[in-house]
Amino acid sequence: MRLSLIISALLIGFAVTAAAQGAPKLILSETAIGTQPDGFGGETRVVTGDVFNHGAEAYRYISITVEAFSADETLIGEGFGFLVDACGTALADYALLPGSVQAFSAPFELFAEGDVAHIRVTADGEAEAPQWSPPVDAPAVQLIARDEVVMLEWLDDETLIYGIGCEGAVFTELDWWRYDLADHALSAIEHPDAAKVTAEMIERSDAALITQSGEQNPALFYGSRMTFPPGARRIVYQNDLHTIFSAEPDGSFKRLIHDRLHPHSLRGFNWARQAGVFLAYYFGSHGEPVYYFTADVEGKMLMGRLEDLAPSLTAPGPADDGLAAVVGWRRDDVSGYYLDYAFGGSELLFEADLPGNHYPAPIVAGDIIYLIRSIEGVPTLQCFNRQTRALTTLTPLPLQLTWEARAWSWLSPGGTRLAVAMNGTEGGLWWMDLTGDCG
């Protein structure tokens, strides 16, 4: 069975006005026309929007067809597209469940002369019985959002802000929300530091500088991963050669932290409990080892250079002072979590089957280490007490973690709350109370 919905749109500049026709099951909304890079140095027109499954069946292999017409109904352009994730990656084999919404992107071209009078967008898909994921019994875990949440900051133990969008995007490109745990109030916001990011600040920091030519390319800023760290003044970012710098909030007084990182792909910064201390971690794709180093925003390297540290099989988490990191290794056919110390030496914490690098990094809070790993196929939150050597299982987590998604976790300032987020089509944001015993 195939289902088709036609949307007629009036093109006014780049604005689209859409009106559904017929009895739709796949509903297109938020449709708009824009441009995107075409891979050849130019740009192509594209229709974007959302598809909502209003039916009782799931729909797989959803395709989007775009037809552009002149005033006399002559077809002068066409194209097609797919459902996409927050990064614009096509979801080729994805079943849109009943009640679910997913973005789409459909490039199109004009192949005949004439002015576009209207555009028709058609969504087609193959219906199938919905395959619901079995629910995870996790009463201690509370849902905040069902979006691709990729960044989060705690303002205090009762309030957090989070960013929705593409993993790796600079924070100013995300949609930010504020959530209050006490009354469940949710509101759209601008990130508190967004106003500090001006053209002058970017130029002063050299975050958009082409190193070889000395020219400015504003697009480079979007790959800088510029971060305003919690509890510290100076910002951290990378340049076009992946060199890590810190600077004052206005981009001045730059300090080199680590260079010769161009062969590596920065995936993010994990911030230690001590203000201004961070761990930068690098990997190319899921399943690869994770390279890392620790430093502080003043420019001091803490554990040595990246090339001198053995890579981890898991995303590493920094100790409070950044002079050690919790890593996952396999040695002598035994896998487990280790505390790797600055300039040599390591301590086995406990033996364990290790998750992939798409799982959250461990969080070190003094003698307590929080970690998330798969137990009998279920992502599970545990804590390890370095004093008692006790490993305590706290709760299963409702994460549908595949190799196409990543998850992150953040501990509140007082250590009483943990937030966990995941991107991808099953993405979301959850929080839980940590006031129970940890060995």
Question: How far does CA 270 lie from the centroid of its chain?
Answer: 14
Q: How far is CA 171 from the centre of its chain?
A: 10
CATH for 2-128? 2.60.40
What does the pLDDT read at residue 332?
Answer: 83
pLDDT at 345: 87
CB atoms within 10 A of CB 222: 15
Choose from 134-138, 139-143, 178-182 the range with maximum mean pLDDT.
Answer: 178-182
User: Is the pLDDT assigned to residue 41 strictly greater than 90?
Assistant: no
The alpha-carbon radius of gyration of the chain (Å, integer) is 24
406 in Cβ contact with 396 (< 8 Å) = no
> Angle 196-201-205 (CA atoms, 0-180°, nearest 5)?
125
| Contact partners, residue 375, CB within 8 Å, separation at least 6 | 393, 396
The answer to whether residue 350 scores a pLDDT higher than 90 is yes
- φ/ψ (deg, to 5) at 194: -60, -40
Query: Residue 132's pLDDT is what?
Result: 77
pLDDT for 27-39, tens place per residue? 898 888 888 887 6
Residue 76 sits at the vertex; the CA angle it makes with 72 and 79, to the nearest 5 degrees, is 135
* Mean per-residue pLDDT, 263-277: 96
Q: What is the pLDDT of residue 8?
A: 41
* Structure-block tokens of residue 405: 């998604």
The predicted pLDDT at position 409 comes to: 98
pTM for the complete prediction? 0.90
Residue-level pLDDT at 3: 44
Question: 286: pLDDT confidence band, cut at 50, 70 and 90?
Answer: confident
Q: pLDDT, tens digit, for every residue of 148-187? A: 999 999 999 999 999 999 999 999 999 999 999 999 999 9
Please state which of the four CATH numbers 1.10.10, 2.60.40, 1.10.3470, 2.130.10 is assigned to the domain occupying 141-433. Answer: 2.130.10
Between 10 and 433, the more confident residue is 433
What pLDDT, on a 0 to 100 scale, did the predictor assign at position 439? Answer: 75
**Cβ pair 251, 202 in contact under 8 A:** yes
Per-residue pLDDT, 21? 40
Using CA atoms, how far residue 98 sits from 6, 21, 53, 121, in Å, is 19, 20, 5, 21
Is there a contact between 321 and 274 (Cβ–Cβ < 8 Å)? yes
The 3-state DSSP class for residue 371 equals strand
Work out the mean pLDDT of the chain and round it to a whole number: 90
Report whether 4 contacts 64 (CB < 8 A): no
pLDDT tens, 416-439?
999 999 999 999 999 999 977 887
At residue 372, the pLDDT reads 97
Q: What is the pLDDT of residues 44-101, one digit of tens each?
A: 889 999 999 998 899 999 999 999 998 888 899 999 999 999 999 999 889 999 999 9
Asked whether residue 16 carries a pLDDT value surpassing 70, the answer given is: no
For CA atoms 414, 415, 416, 418, the dihedral sign is positive
- Residues 18 and 28: beta-carbon distance below 8 Å: yes
Q: Please return the burial class of 249, using the count of CB atoms within 10 Å of its CB with bins 0-12, 13-18 and 19+.
A: middle
Domain-wise residue ranges, the chain: 2-128, 141-433
